[in-house]
Amino acid sequence: MSDDHLYMTLAEGHEDDTRWAYGTGFEDPLHGVDTTVPEDVDAAELAALCAALGDDALVGAQRLAEWTTRAPELEEEVALANIGLDLLGQARLLYARCGRTDGTGRGEDAYAYFRDPGEFRNVTLAELPNGDFAFSMARLLVLSSWRLHHLDGLTASPDPVLRAVAAKGVKELTYHRRYAAEWVVRLGDGTEESHRRMRAGIEQVAPYLEELFGAFDARAEVLADLRQVLDAAGLELPATAPAAAGPGREGRHTEHLAPLLQELQSVARAHPEATW
Amino acid sequence: MVTGAVAPETRRARRVAEQVPDPELPMLTLADLGVLRGVEVGDDGTVVADLTPTYSGCPAMAEMRAGVAARLKDAGFARVEVRTVLDPPWTTDWITPEGRRKLAEHGIAPPGPAPRRAPGPVPLSLSPTRHRVACPRCGSADTEESSRFGATSCKALWRCLACREPFEYLKEI
């Protein structure tokens, strides 16, 4: 630690490569992996699935990152940033897989930085603003539970690359789901005020469940998780009409996705050849 | 490769690659951490080293890859290819006994056994972490988790109720 400037210190010893955090132009996360698409796999279907799962992860990671410096405690910021980092890693692998299957040969940056909102296939629940911490925890619980069970199913995918990405993701998602579940229980079973806000959070998430279940399965598993957590939290899943928004899986998004992407993509688009 | 017989060059390349330190846990070598999955030298002298990431988002992966390539080149291997291996996924069970000893020595509690999966959906546990983690400083089992997420993806934050020191715990995965 010879330099007073934090960023310079982080870059120390990396004179040839001063990129110490996420940016653009990183080495292919599937470097050296056999990415031949097996004959019995429909490449277009596989690409669409990887894009949808990658978009859920990227958009989800961006919302989690927004909690940094705003979460109730430092430990929660660290936790939310870590969960976001896992999702970002999953998104990178999924985008890289997508580029090898959709016939474009694009790299991860093309998917993250150079697509417009209408090309994104994430569920709209992932893009809603963070709002109250209780809403963010309700959303994280639902998205983690669905992703966990969906990836668990994909560990039997006929595509060996997706199978491997899913198997790794399941381990990570198990921690994410538990983190969110514990907060839902703590707030739901806490004070009158925390209970009220947690209930409001669940009520805000409930209308988006149908969209999440829409294209893929895992409905029974997610509802079982929710029942277990809400029982422990002294809460109920309200019967609500599905939200009018979406479906994001078809590229129909809320007004909240465009500003999120604008922030995420602005530097890459202002300096398209730059790497950092 | 012929069973049982490891060519001397392969043995030498393995010894070199195995000593590369992990960028985030520099007290461990990549072999200690269990992320170096194989090193072979082909007939044309090319070294192929297989690395597996710990977590999907582990930012140290590129640095690990560069480290292995640089050390092997320094050792005289002109052609080095470092491949990513995703399957099977890394588990903390692959951290060697030597690696566990070094972690504890540096104040990081080593992981317990990775959770075993029963058939059916991945169960959700809401009860407090059941296993005991011994304090790496004073050895007391009177410890508690303060946060399941820490400074890097692989670590959790704990504190010792006996010596009152906080410590890191490499969480099992």
B60, B92 contact by CB (below 8 A) = no
User: Given an 8 Å threshold on Cβ–Cβ distance, is B83 in contact with A33?
Assistant: yes
> What CATH number has the domain spanning B8-84?
3.30.300.130
Domain ranges of chain B: 8-84, 130-173
- Strand ranges for chain B from DSSP E: 36-41, 47-51, 80-84, 108-109, 143-147, 155-160, 166-170
Residue A171's pLDDT is: 95
Residue A13's pLDDT is: 53
Q: Of B53-67, B77-91, B155-169, which range is least confident?
A: B53-67
Chain B hits for A92, Cβ within 8 Å: 56-57
A145, A221 contact by CB (below 8 A) = yes
| Interface check A89 vs B, CB under 8 A | yes
Tens-digit pLDDT profile for chain A (276 aa)? 344 444 454 455 555 554 445 567 777 889 889 999 999 999 999 999 999 999 999 999 999 999 999 998 999 999 999 999 999 999 999 999 999 999 899 999 999 999 999 999 999 999 999 999 999 999 999 999 999 999 999 999 999 999 999 999 999 999 999 999 999 999 999 999 999 999 999 999 999 999 999 866 799 999 999 999 999 999 999 999 999 888 999 999 999 999 999 999 999 999 887 887
**From A17, A93, A152, residue closest to B122, measured CB to CB:** A152
Alpha carbon of A73 to those of A39, A78, B72, B146, B169: distances in Å? Answer: 50, 9, 44, 12, 20
Nearby residues of B119 by Cβ (< 8 Å), 6 or more positions away: none
What interhelical angle do A257-270 and A43-65 show, nearest 10?
A: 90
In 3-state terms, what secondary structure has residue B155?
A: strand
**Locus of tokens 């890693």:** A89
**From A79, A82, A225, residue closest to B124, measured CB to CB:** A225
Separation between Cα atoms, residue B34 and residue B31, nearest integer Å: 5
User: Residue A142: how many CA atoms within 13 Å on its side-chain side?
Assistant: 26
Separation between Cα atoms, residue A39 and residue A30, nearest integer Å: 20
Alpha carbon of A127 to those of A248, A253, A259, B49, B137: distances in Å? Answer: 9, 8, 10, 40, 44
At residue B127, does pLDDT exceed 50?
Answer: yes
User: Given an 8 Å threshold on Cβ–Cβ distance, is A78 in contact with B150?
Assistant: yes
Pairing verdict, β B36-41 and B47-51 = antiparallel
Residue A77's pLDDT is: 93
Separation between Cα atoms, residue A20 and residue B63, nearest integer Å: 10
Burial A203-219 (b: 16+ CB within 10 A, else e): bbbbbbbebbbeebebe
User: Which of B122, B152, B154 to substitute to test the interface with A, most A CBs within 10 Å?
Assistant: B122
- Ramachandran area for residue B51 (φ above 0: left; ψ -120 to 50: alpha; else beta): beta
Taking the alpha carbons of A245, A200, A77, B135 in that order, is the dihedral positive or negative?
Answer: negative
| Interface check B85 vs A, CB under 8 A | yes
Residue in B45, B41, B17 with CA at minimum distance from that of residue B31: B17
Angle at B151 between CA B147 and CA B156, to 5 degrees: 35
Query: ipTM score here?
Result: 0.90
Distance from CA of B135 to the nearest CA of A (A): 20
**From B57, B122, B146, residue closest to A86, measured CB to CB:** B57
- Please name every residue paired with A208 in a beta bridge, in sequence order, or none if there are none: none
| Interface list for A 50-69 with B (CB within 8 A) | none
Token pair recorded at residue A156? 């039997």
Pairing verdict, β B80-84 and B47-51 = parallel
Chain B hits for A228, Cβ within 8 Å: 124, 126
In 3-state terms, what secondary structure has residue B29?
A: strand
Distance from CA of B17 to the nearest CA of A (A): 17
Four-way CATH pick for A41-270: 1.50.10.20, 1.10.490.10, 1.20.1260.10, 1.10.287.130: 1.20.1260.10
Domain ranges of chain A: 41-270
**From A21, A79, A164, residue closest to B86, measured CB to CB:** A164
